[in-house]
Each structure stands twice: as structure tokens, then as C-alpha cells.
Amino acid sequence: MAKAIMLQGTGSDVGKTVLVAGLCRAAKKRGLKVRPFKPQNMSNNAAVADIPGDDKAGGGEIGRGQWLQALACGVRPTVHMNPVLLKPQSDIGSQVVVQGKVFGEARARDYQAMKAGLLDAVLDSWAKVGEGADLVIVEGAGSPAEINLRSRDIANMGFATRANVPVVLVGDIDRGGVIASVAGTHLILPEEDRRMIAGYLINKFRGDVSLFDDGISAIEKFTGWRCFGVVPWLKAAARLPSEDSVVLERLASGEKRALKVAVPMLARIANFDDLDPLKAEPQVEVVFVPPGKKLPEDAGLVIIPGSKSTIGDLIKFREHGWDRDLIAHRKRGGHVVGICGGYQMLGRRVTDPDGIEGSVREVEGLGLLDLETVMEPEKTVRNSSARSVQFGLPLEGYEIHLGRTTGPDTARPSAIINGVEDGAVSADGKVIGTYLHGLFSADAFRAAYLESLGVRGGGIDYRAEVEKALDEIAAELEGHIDCDAIFGLAR
């Protein structure tokens, strides 16, 4: 079994995913065979990963963060890198994905009881992910300080103690109170868990790092833990694919550019990292529109992203008045793209005869495309090679969806995916729907599509930009933290 270390946080969104990705890239540059692992993740931003030993399966789901970390390691992602994925469908319940496949649905309270049985799957994947590797870097979820959940924990100390993996705690100084966060974690952890922590990192520091020297001394006084370093604000992280919807709160406005792209912030928004390549374009301003705000009248393009709850989000779409804004946008000659759940919403009707998404069996669509979708139990999960029908250019992406879409407008497909027609295009060519996630990552297609909207693309090689960002983050970590000591903890 490979040696391993684990990063846990004083809370959610402290930057663990990016730090693990950066450490993975740093380890790879040192010549190590490194793999990422996250026992449990909660995200509607999923990626398609290989299912080892099952060539017919097409692929399974993992968190987008582990897909990025696998990229940092220079390896193909597998479902064993994130054996338990929770995809929120409501405020109290989630779809549970185990080793890439849908296991069932559970309310938060029911899931706590389910965890004990899931630990076996986590440990099975743990044994497999390290095969042939020198080092596995593990990412926790949330915080080990949630001691009310400790008895059934599989994401943090419950895993670390069972697998005997040393832990480095990560605190976020940008949000304030980092000394209390680190010291408070030390205070409330049981002794068995406290012994697993070898030290800590301070993340997201802005300015002169030496100004925090007294803070390090204070934390040492309260905890006795070693500080492995202070990580500066990593500007390159903004060029990485987004993982969690918490970042959307910081993206509700942007710098004015030639093309404004408006994206309604659906309650169950999924795979919104589809927008990242557009955000990287110098002439494109991507604005995420929160509930209660109108879709901006000066937007040239509205993109309705994926959703984990198409019917529920479609109902909310109308409640927010976005349906009226969208009709007005079309009357002004505006363009619309719907991806996955957003594509389903663009039709005339969405029906759910088996109640897969909930109690609502049918809802009227937005009517921008002449088609309808029927939700069906079988889920499509696969990486896909495709070609744009409009531009004749290659596309690479993936599909993760329920439902079958039919209707007259599908006679004008937007793409050919694995030899099969996909999506639909309106008669005037200004409304496009597709099940293909990742289409804007195709540089030639993105440039051609933007040009059709009167905007010159920036000639960006998006995948190369992500790779460059990972290299820059690895270099920053090597320069500001004691990577030798952190890697030396692994056992």
C-alpha cells in the first residue's frame, strides 16, 4: 500500500481541494507516482471517471475536485478516488453515489445511519487507489471539529484513524478568526483524533506573511502543533475549474467586456464549471444572477446550466421571474444555450411519471424549443467524443443525466455524440440545447461560437491554461510551505 497524508480543514471552503491539487502536482514534479483520494464529497459538480475492471460500464461519477486532482497527478480519474459522492437534491436530501454508481437517495438524518455500511466501500476503494502509487494525498470534507457527527464519520477522523493516515489541518485566514479556528479544533477534538494531527497550514494569506509570525506563536502556545507554512493568496487558483456552488456568491458581478453572459443561479445548479472556459476569455464577462435579480438586459447570451433537480429548478425559475426575462431577451435577439438540465427546461414540457425527482409529475417548460423530456430511471454517465453540427468542429465532454428528450426541434441537432444526434437548435439558430457538458472547453468551437456572436475569442488553450495554473500553484507551495516535511509525514 502506498504511503499517505491527509489534509483536513477547520471548516468548509478553506481551500483544501486546491491545496491537495497543488501538492499532487508538486509530488509529481518530484518524480513520485501520486494519487488523490477523498472518502466522501458533497457536490453537484460531478465528473465522469473510469470504473476499473468494468469496460462496459461507460464510466461512473466522482466529484469534480478529484477529477482536477487526478489531472494534477497526471493520471486518469477512477471512481475509487472519491468512493462516496453526495449530490444534493433538496435542502434535506441527496442522491448517494457509491463507487461511481447511484446507490440510492437519503435524507440527511437517514444518511448518518447509512454511513457505517458505506465505510466498507470507502476502505475497499482506499486499498485500490494506492495500487502502484508511491503517495496518496487525501482530502477531508467539512471539518473534524463537527464532533456531533464523529461516531459515524467516514470523511475525516473516522477515516484517518481507521486507515492510520497522519493529518495536516488547514485554516483559512481570509475569512478571519483563523487562530480561534485552529485552537478551537484542538480544544474540542478527542485525544485519539488530536494525536492524528501533525501540524497545520494557514491558507489564503494576503500581504506580508511575516506579519503572521505572532499568530503562529499564539497557535503553538494553545496547541503545540507545528506550522508547516503560510500559503499566500493563490491567484492561479482562479483559473482552475470551479468545484462547489459556494464560489457563485463571489461571482454575481464581473468586469464589463464585449459580451455579457448571464447565468441564472439555480437552486440545484450542477456542473457550472461548464462556464469556466468562457470566464477565461478576455472579451467575455460571465455574470451569475442570484434569485431576486433580473437577468440583465444587456446580456448577449443567457446560459441555463445543469441542474440536479430540473423540475424543482424550473418551478423556481418562474417564481424568480426569469421566464419573463428570458422571453424579453429573445425578443431583443439574444442567444440562449441550455446544457443538460438547462436543455430540458428549454422545451415545452418536462414529465416525471415515476416520481424520480419528487412529487411533481409534470411541469410546463420555457417553450424556446419544440420538444419535451420524460424522466426515466436509467442514468447516462459517460465521457463523449462529439462534433458540432453548426460549426463542424470537434468537441470533447461528458454526459451525466436522466431523461429522454424528443420533439420536432431535435431534427436540428446541436451535436453528434458518439455517432448519435444530440440536442436541438431553434430555427433561427439562436437557441441551442445539448446534453454535452464541457463543450466550451473545446478551443476551436468556443472561438467559432463567440465569433458567431460578434466576439473575437482570445486564442486561449484552455486545457493548457489549467495545466499552467497547476504548475504555478505547485511552485507557490514549494516556495512557501515545508513540502519536504509534509511529504515526510506520509506513512
User: In terms of DSSP bridges, do strands 362-364 and 394-401 run parallel, antiparallel, or are they unpaired?
Assistant: unpaired
Instruction: Give the SS3 label for residue 273.
Output: helix
Q: What cell does 32 get? A: 513520485
- All 3 cell numbers of residue 187? 480544544
Among residues 320, 437, 480, 483, which one is catalytic? 437
Q: Looking at this protein, which amino acid is placed at residue 319? A: E
Q: How far apart are CA 330 and CA 324, in angstroms?
A: 10
Euclidean distance between CA atoms 295 and 299, whole angstroms: 8
3-state secondary structure of 74: coil
Answer yes or no: are the C-beta atoms of 165 and 144 closer than 8 Å. Answer: no
Catalytic residue, chosen from 73, 340, 401, 483, is: 340
What end-to-end distance do the CA atoms of the chain give, in Å? 10
73 counts as catalytic? no
CA neighbor of 278 nearest in space, from 125, 478, 150, 450: 450
Task: Check: CB of residue 398 under 8 Å from CB of residue 435.
Answer: no
Catalytic status, residue 340: yes
Buried b (16+ CB within 10 A) or exposed e, 31-47: ebbbbbbbbbbbbbbbb
Contact (CB, 8 A) for 424 and 256: no
Distance CA 254, CA 9 (A): 29
Catalytically annotated residues:
340, 437
